[in-house]
Every structure is written in C-alpha cells, then in structure tokens.
Amino acid sequence: MIRLCAALAVALVSISVTAMAADYPAPQDGEWIAKDFKFHTGEIMPELRLHYTTVGAPTGQPVLVLHGSGGSAASMLTPSFAGELYGPGQPLDASKYYIIIPDGIGHGKSSKPSDVMRTSFPKYDYDDMVDAQYRLVTEGLGIKHLRLVIGNSMGGMHTWVWGVRYPQMMDVLVPMASQPTAMAARNWILRRMMLETIRNDPDYNNGNYTSQPRMMKYAVAAYRFASAGGTLGYQTLAPSAAQADKMVDDQLALPVTSDANDYVYQWEASHDYDPSAGMEKIEAVLLAINAADDERNPAETGVTEAAVKRIKNGKIYLVPASTETRGHLTTGDAKFYAKQLQELLQTAPQRTM
C-alpha cells in the first residue's frame, strides 16, 4: 500500500503500523493451504495459501476479526484498535477470547497476483474471500462456531456476507464502516475512477509493467482524500491552503509500496458486493457500527437503517461526527465504540460452540 506519512497517519487514522508494546499475548502467525479452492468464476486453484494471525490461546472463545481493503492482519493489531480491545478487561480480552485475523485473498501474505500469476490470477470477489475465511476457520483451525465476527471497511462488508452465507456460524456480528447494500453511488464511482486511472497509465501495460505505474500514487491519494478523513477532521487539520498543500505534498512524496495488480484486484473485488437480499437470513445478534461522517457509507441515505430493520436482532450504533472523528477512518479507533461492543458481548445469547 502507499504509506501515509507519519504526521498524516497520526492525524487521520490515529494508529501506527504495528502493535507496539501491547498489553496482550504476542500475536502468532500461521498459514494454511486450501486445496482445490473454487472461485465464483468457476476457476479452481489447486493450492490457495491463507495466512493468518492469532492472539490468545485456542482454548478461548473464537473471534474472527476482518481487515479492510489493501490491509492485512497487521491492520488490526494497531494501538488504537488492538490496544483498545485485546487487553485485560477489554471487550476482546485475549485471556478469554481466541482472536483470529486472516489475511484476505490477494492481501498480506495470502495468495495474490504479484506472487507469480499477475493478471492470470483468478478474479476474486467478496464471496470468494469469505468462503476462504470459512474454510480456514472450519477446516484449517477446526472451529465449529464463532462467538463473534467483526470487521472494518472491507472487513465490515465481509461481516455482512458472513451473516448471510453462514448464518448459524456465529453468535454476534459487528460490521463496521460498511453498508449491507450494493456497491454503488459515490463509493463505487470513486473506486472506478481510481482503478481507471491506474489501468490507463501507459506504465501499467495491461498489468505487464516492469515498475509500478507512476500515476498510481496520484489515483490512490485522490481516492483517499475524497473518501476518508471527515469534513470536520480536515477542517481541523488543514484550515489554510498552506496546511492543505503540505498534506498533499507529504502524501505524494511517499513511495509506492504495493503492487499495482494486487491493488486493482483488491478494489475491483468489491464491484459485485450486495448482500441486501439476505437480511432475513441473519440469525446472529447484529450491531452495525458506522461513523456519522463516513464519506463512503453516508448515514443520510437511510439504506443501512432500512436493511437492519429486516434483521430480527439488529441495531445500529452511529458514532457522532466531531473534530476527533475521521470519516470513514473513524472505526479504526476502537475508543469510539469499545463500551458498546463490551455491553453487546455481555448480553448476546451464546449458542453451542
């Protein structure tokens, strides 16, 4: 991924890239091979590598934590997320829970286009990614039931898909920074424009590039500034042209650290996302957490509220917008909803594990 500069990362996301000195058990890495994995296109990969990270002992209640687009398990091990959730007495106390954080298909250390196949890699979508997670959890780790599935951004959309595709698999669902409706409107328009900018860069050469396309960093920066950060957040951080220019200059000075094909696949995977028809299938207690200033999932459309009304045990918690929130990035900071999550886990019925 193109890295945010240190100042911007602190200002916009309030997280760092690693967990630092965390007050919970050291994360453990693992890898499992899904044999003969079938994609929604009908293509079959003989061996699909699935990397994952766990926190806590396997004897704890299993919890599945799902990262966002372009991220990996490391994205969910930051001080502002893991540091607020995984420690003693916190909502996902790792002495009680067995926390499982997969690298999604095409992300992190799991199988991805840049390994060898480039654009010959099967086109995956969110259903494929969730099916791979399901196989990892059930076949790879031997887990029959999850206490909780929680995800942020893309991981939030995956959480909705989990509830529809595998409704008996979990007690609780917490999709964050997401909507259970078709990928459309400004969210897809901006994604499409970002992808078209990368693909139409002559350097991209239909995915057969020898160096990362030069326009990629401009496309990614434009998308991020347009779709995350929060109106009040940016006004607080860049109240003058000079401060705004510095934010842009700092972002564009960063090197490209992700592979273009990987990146295109990661974002294109959202194109056919639409779990809306399956809301009545959801059996788990569900709490949808969104930020009121989320640019990609604007609360004022009412689409999430309408969908949640169709769920037997569904509620919404909307984090109020403020100078402290950061739009779509807000839910990366668990301090905004740790109390609500803890209360949910204390009261939600527990089915057979």
Asked if 255 and 297 sit in the same domain, the reply is: no
Check residue 256 and give left, alpha or beta (phi > 0: left; psi -120 to 50: alpha). Answer: beta
For residue 4, being part of any structural domain is answered with no
pLDDT at residue 34 in the model: 98
Neighbours of 167 (CB within 10 A): 15
Asked if 172 and 306 sit in the same domain, the reply is: yes
For residue 272, being part of any structural domain is answered with no
Asked if 213 and 332 sit in the same domain, the reply is: no
Asked if 177 and 312 sit in the same domain, the reply is: yes
Asked if 41 and 154 sit in the same domain, the reply is: yes
pLDDT at residue 14 in the model: 36
- According to DSSP, residue 148 is labeled E
- According to DSSP, residue 92 is labeled T
3-class DSSP state of 241: helix
For residue 12, being part of any structural domain is answered with no
Asked if 100 and 241 sit in the same domain, the reply is: no
pLDDT at residue 9 in the model: 39
Report the half-sphere exposure of 129 (CA within 13 A, side-chain side): 34
Of 266, 293, 322, the residue at which a domain comes to its end is 266
Asked if 26 and 158 sit in the same domain, the reply is: yes
Asked if 176 and 285 sit in the same domain, the reply is: yes
For residue 54, being part of any structural domain is answered with yes
Distances (CA, A) of 12 to 1, 219, 235: 16, 19, 12
3-class DSSP state of 66: strand
For residue 353, being part of any structural domain is answered with no
Asked if 176 and 212 sit in the same domain, the reply is: no
Q: Is 284:350 a contact under the CB 8 Å cutoff?
A: no
pLDDT at residue 78 in the model: 97
CA distance 110 to 217: 23
Asked if 194 and 324 sit in the same domain, the reply is: no
Looking at the 3D structure of the chain, how many domains does it have?
Answer: 2
For residue 251, being part of any structural domain is answered with yes
CA distance 319 to 96: 27
3-class DSSP state of 11: helix
- Nearest Cα residue to 341 out of 103, 189, 147: 147
Asked if 261 and 312 sit in the same domain, the reply is: no
Asked if 130 and 175 sit in the same domain, the reply is: yes
- Nearest Cα residue to 92 out of 77, 102, 108, 110: 77
pLDDT at residue 351 in the model: 84
For residue 9, being part of any structural domain is answered with no
Q: Which two tokens stand for residue 290?
A: 């969104």
pLDDT at residue 322 in the model: 97
CA distance 135 to 34: 7
* pTM score: 0.93
Q: Is 334:85 a contact under the CB 8 Å cutoff?
A: yes
The per-residue b/e assignment along 179-203, b for 16 or more CB within 10 angstroms, e otherwise, is: bbbebeeebbebbeebbebbbebee
Neighbours of 335 (CB within 10 A): 13
Q: What domain range is 202 assigned to? A: 186-266
What CATH number is associated with residue 43? 3.40.50.1820
Name the helix (H) or strand (E) containing 345.
Answer: helix 338-347
3-class DSSP state of 257: coil
Amino acid at 142: G
pLDDT (tens place) for every residue of the chain, 353 residues total: 444 333 333 333 333 333 344 699 999 999 999 999 999 999 999 999 999 999 999 999 999 999 999 999 999 999 999 999 999 999 999 999 999 999 999 999 999 999 999 999 999 999 999 999 999 999 999 999 999 999 999 999 999 999 999 999 999 999 999 999 999 999 999 999 999 999 999 999 999 999 999 999 999 999 999 999 999 999 999 999 999 999 999 999 998 889 999 999 999 999 999 999 999 999 999 999 999 999 999 999 999 999 999 999 999 999 999 999 999 999 999 999 999 999 999 999 998 65
* Beta strands at 146-152 and 28-38: parallel, antiparallel or unpaired: unpaired
pLDDT at residue 330 in the model: 98
Of 266, 301, 328, the residue at which a domain comes to its end is 266
For residue 331, being part of any structural domain is answered with yes
Residues in the chain: 353
Of 211, 236, 266, the residue at which a domain comes to its end is 266
- Supply the Cα-derived Rg of the chain in whole angstroms: 19
3-class DSSP state of 122: coil
